[in-house]
Amino acid sequence: MHAVSADAGAKFFDRERDVDWLLVFLESFRRLGWLPPTDDTQRRLLAANDILFHDRMHGRFFEFRSRGARDDRLPPLTIFIHVDADESVVRIIGIQPTTDYASNREEILQMISTRAVEVDIMLKRKNHG
């Protein structure tokens, strides 16, 4: 998604450092049939690993805090992802420095929610010709 490249955190993003282990973890949840998480226990297990699930009126997405293996990631990033459980595809829909996100949380969540809806629309068009 082109809009992500303009996000404040995009210049600090490192796929290997920030996402690869997350993908392995999400794959485990997918195999269990937990994407999206359907109950509080599943959501708590995700949250214990710095992954929050947002089910907003206009968009469903995950929020992941990339802090580094020893909390040494500078700057820490908050990465937002859309998971298409049908195709087992993860799409990054936002990357923000965690400090920016903390000070503009609702505005950023609204932007990410809109992006999640845009991805859903794109997928529906793709799947239904």
What is the DSSP pairing of strand 59-66 with strand 77-84? antiparallel
User: Which band of pLDDT confidence, cut at 50, 70 and 90, is reported for residue 88?
Assistant: low
Which pLDDT does position 7 carry in this prediction? 92
The pLDDT > 70 percentage for the chain reads 92
Place of tokens 């087992």: 88
**pTM value?**
0.84
Residue 80 parent element (H or E): strand 77-84
